[in-house]
Structure 1
Amino acid sequence: MQIVVIPDRRSPVVTHMVWYRTGSSEDPIGKSGIAHFLEHLMFKGTAMHPAGHFGKILAGVGGQENAFTSHDVTAYHQRVPKQNLATCMAYEADRMRNLVLDDATVASERDVVLAERGMILDSKPASLLQEALEAAAFPAHPSGRPVIGWRHEIETLGREDALAYYRRYYAPQNAILVVAGDAEPQAVLEMAEAAYGAIPPSDAPPERRRVQDPPARMHRQITLADTQVHQPQLMRLHAVPSYISGAPGEAEALEMLAFLLAGDPTSVLHTRLVQERKCATSVGISYWDTAIDRSRFLITATPAPDVSPETLEHTLEDVLRDLLKTGFEADAIKRAKTQLVASALYALDSQVSLANWYGMALACGMTLEDIAAWPVRIEAVTAEHLHDALLKLDRRSAVSGYLLEAAAAA
């Protein structure tokens, strides 16, 4: 088990996080959603800590707990007064190997997950469209499947599926412990040795080797029209390198490109699409920079009244082509570097943000040295790097999504 301690003694509080090097991309074929389902089931208790027992302890000391699953990681965390750190470790070590499940509990929680999918995906046309874009952009790679799973596959998940996944991936050898806050490193190591070191060794962690997609050579378009839609939307998804899968400098350039294009009200797309051409009322970009394999660069925009998503995309394409010719102004690049590095410095002010940053990066394969060098690598991005990043936004390899009112599509 890798252990990382980030001291922050400004308040007598610690954040305790256990990160597992497994996420929905490790879901077996036909069992999508099992990683996320198991995350839910991990709160159902052990013989030593029955369901709800630890939550009552946390509530009694004013603590908090939660968990999440992504394509590449699953993480469990608590935020507690520092004197309760050992209690958190004892709990996580216990449920790491001693989870107790019965068929009735699993069936009940499966209904909860199905209801969650209905609430966050099935009832929201925009979410369904993004889900379809991701499936088209990653047709073979498991990250094309939703983290929560496909509904028809969630319905088949049972106790043995959960326990098989649990036994395969939940062990100290496949975990990273991050403790941030008012804690002495040596004391954390001793507590971790007492809690996690007592767990008998298991098999070596499974190798994280996934099926890869072939290069995309054609544009794909998906249109969703729904009676619930009252505001059309444009989405455009590109499969791009991440910090782990890309060559040195590629992810840094993509991160800066996302900021330059849509990072604030002075960004290029906001200026040209919203203010000057008035063909959009908003525009945004999400780049998932930390991923084991290729990742997502998602452009979203809301068309102005009487502008269709298709027309807006053509205008977007014009702007991107112009940028390939002109590049970005030197002052804009300098400002983007300042803003990105400053945002990382502000993260140092939050022990939770720090624990998340380190945990996510390490669980996906980065090193402590990679994390420390990030500001220097951002400063090293050049206009040429940004040009190369722009080339990765070629529409011919993208998946475009148009969200329409049902009447407009008739």
Structure 2
Amino acid sequence: MPLAAVSEKTFGREVLGAAIPVLVEFSAEHAPSHAALDDLSNEMAGTIKVVRVDVGQHPTLKDEYGVRGLPTHILFKFGKPVSRRLGGLSSKAELREWVAGALILALATRRISTVRSATQFKMANGMEVVVIPDHRAPVVTHMVWFRVGAADDPKDFSGISRLVEHLTFTSLDRITDGDFSKTILRLGGQADAFIYRDATVFWQSVPGDQLKMAMESEVDRMINLHVTDDEVASEREVILEQRRSEMANDPGARLVHEMNAALYRAHPYGRPVIGLPSELARLSREDVQRFHKLHYAPNKAILVVSGDVTPEEVKQLAHETFGRIPANPNVAQRPRLKEPSQIAARRVALEAPHSTTARFYRTYSLPGSATAARGETEALEVLAKILARGITSRLYRRLVIGDKISTSVTGNYLGNTLEAGELELMALATDGDLSAIEAGVDDEIEDIRKNGVTQEELVCAKRSLVAGYIYGSADQFNLSQRYGWAAALGLTIKDIEERPAAISRVSAADVAKVAKKYLIARRSVTGWLSCRRKGRNARPIQASAAVRRHL
């Protein structure tokens, strides 16, 4: 059946006033509609309407909607064009995929349009500032991001960035031991810090009228570190005890440490964020002061403020506080060793006799957000979602629901890195049979590499990721992290705010491409955490041809 034709007179009623999305093909008499459009119109009747405009008879519509070539397809929702494409369609599957992505984007833009966009500027001393207005409650979240993390610890000085972060809560002029946290608590707020491979972050959530107090405290942290040998020794022992406790009580953490070391043999990402005990133990007061002076400077910091503020208010307060600190021309750069190409798959096995559950781990080395080619990070996110995130994922449906050899499956793409990113998979074994789990994982990965993903999987994954972005926009802390990470990695506000659109554009071909390119054995490390089976003659499960590490 030919597509319904609309004219300049009926366009408002049939397209702009429609209760459901409308796909409009702008074409001409000499260019008949593609058969895929007829099929789509029949298949999705009641969900989407497909109509045709003959631009020869109705040139005003052509000009109004900027049609520059034929055929042009524009999807309208709630009376507004939400996506367009120029050129013919190669197949019905291609058309359905494009429409699904456009509808996901329409949902995202409709919801996110109520959230104010962020503002970014740089002060004279080099400090970057990001402001995200959110006037729903008289509260602000204040974060200072330093472009220094565990991967910036000098050779033989691992753990020093963590030690400095600890000491800035105890040895400053304004922030004395415990007093700052007590002040924040009395105000009904929160304060803490965290450190990752590429960044150290200090944050406070406080009433809006206390924003200047939070800024003054961070100024203190930046310029007034005074430490004694005893304070360094005390905090050093706190961190060492944290590491001892983690290693003693969590065999999974021990295995992950070993897997990281196997994945990164040269790059500092292979070192634990908390540091190596032998190197931590010898860090001195002079080491701490030198590291703080090189890295804690305004021209190596990013101020992120979200909440009940305006950009003008933040700019004034930032100039009154952080603006007093001069830039440090000697801030340390980030010279890092490059990781050589991995030429073979690597394996790590750990026997944990006291553990009650055997676990399978797999990590692939991938590009991070700052190094991936355009569109790859979004495709990798969709791939991770389809493969292992949630009860609809392939691995969950196969290993937990189908084969019943696992009780839990998780997976994630870790792309918030300056350099290499990772795709991580983990599964808990029902009866300790890790070989069966590994075989299932390998089968599903190979199937995606060979056959790609289904349209249903693609749409479901993209919808879930976009929904997660929308829901995350409701949380001030999450918003601050989102924009802080972008700035720390050299991305832009535009990169963050166009994320839903970028995810919606991911195609099945994009997912298959990154799977074929990156989910290959030589880019991986496989870890087995084996435990003792129940029974008098039980023996630990062993990984054949594995590199054994008894910790």
Whether the 8 Å contact between 2:360 and 2:527 is mirrored in structure 1 is yes
Q: Which amino acid aligns with 1:70?
A: Y
1:166 matches 2:289: no
The structure with higher relative contact order (CA 8 Å, sep 6+) is 1
1:29 matches 2:165: no
Q: Which amino acid aligns with 2:207?
A: P
Matches of residues 5-404 of structure 1 in structure 2 within 5 Å?
Answer: 5-203=131-329, 205-307=331-433, 309-391=434-516, 392-404=518-530
Gaps of 5+ in 1: none
* Distance across 2 between alignment mates of 1:60 and 1:135: 43
Whether the 8 Å contact between 1:310 and 1:402 is mirrored in structure 2 is no
Whether the 8 Å contact between 2:197 and 2:269 is mirrored in structure 1 is yes
Q: Deviation at 1:240?
A: 0.5
Deviations 1:135-160 (A, max 9, x none): 11011000110000111111111211
Q: Deviation at 1:306?
A: 4.9
RMSD across aligned positions (CA)? 1.4
Deviations 1:196-242 (A, max 9, x none): 01112211543333211111110111110022221111001111011
Whether the 8 Å contact between 2:137 and 2:308 is mirrored in structure 1 is yes
Whether the 8 Å contact between 2:189 and 2:207 is mirrored in structure 1 is yes
Q: Which amino acid aligns with 1:278?
A: K
Q: Deviation at 1:344?
A: 0.5
Q: Which amino acid aligns with 1:374?
A: R
Identity %: 37
* Distance across 2 between alignment mates of 1:161 and 1:236: 37
Computing the radius of gyration from Cα coordinates, the structure with the larger value is 2
Whether the 8 Å contact between 2:173 and 2:220 is mirrored in structure 1 is no
Gaps of 5+ in 2: 1-126, 533-538, 543-551
* Distance across 2 between alignment mates of 1:47 and 1:397: 48
* Distance across 2 between alignment mates of 1:222 and 1:54: 44
* Distance across 2 between alignment mates of 1:50 and 1:341: 43
Pick the structure with more helix per residue. Answer: 1
Q: Deviation at 1:171?
A: 0.5
Q: Which amino acid aligns with 2:394?
A: V
Whether the 8 Å contact between 2:294 and 2:330 is mirrored in structure 1 is no
Q: Deviation at 1:63?
A: 1.6
Q: Deviation at 1:51?
A: 2.6
Q: Which amino acid aligns with 1:98?
A: N
* Distance across 1 between alignment mates of 2:360 and 2:432: 14
* Distance across 2 between alignment mates of 1:10 and 1:285: 34
| SS of residue matched to 1:355 | helix
Whether the 8 Å contact between 2:417 and 2:489 is mirrored in structure 1 is yes
Residue in 1 aligned with 2:540? 408
Q: Deviation at 1:409?
A: 4.3
How does the TM-score come out when normalised to structure 1?
0.97
Whether the 8 Å contact between 1:218 and 1:396 is mirrored in structure 2 is yes
Please say which of residues 165-174 and 386-395 is displaced more in the overlay.
Answer: 386-395
Deviations 1:362-393 (A, max 9, x none): 11211111111211111111112111221211
* Distance across 1 between alignment mates of 2:390 and 2:432: 25
| SS of residue matched to 1:197 | helix
* Distance across 2 between alignment mates of 1:30 and 1:211: 14
* Distance across 1 between alignment mates of 2:138 and 2:482: 21
Aligned length: 409
Whether the 8 Å contact between 1:73 and 1:364 is mirrored in structure 2 is no
Whether the 8 Å contact between 1:125 and 1:228 is mirrored in structure 2 is no
* Distance across 1 between alignment mates of 2:147 and 2:181: 25
Residue in 1 aligned with 2:30? none
Whether the 8 Å contact between 1:44 and 1:100 is mirrored in structure 2 is no
Whether the 8 Å contact between 2:135 and 2:308 is mirrored in structure 1 is yes
Please say which of residues 40-49 and 78-87 is displaced more in the overlay.
Answer: 40-49
Please say which of residues 322-331 and 32-41 is displaced more in the overlay.
Answer: 322-331
| SS of residue matched to 1:99 | coil
Whether the 8 Å contact between 1:238 and 1:298 is mirrored in structure 2 is yes
* Distance across 2 between alignment mates of 1:383 and 1:47: 56
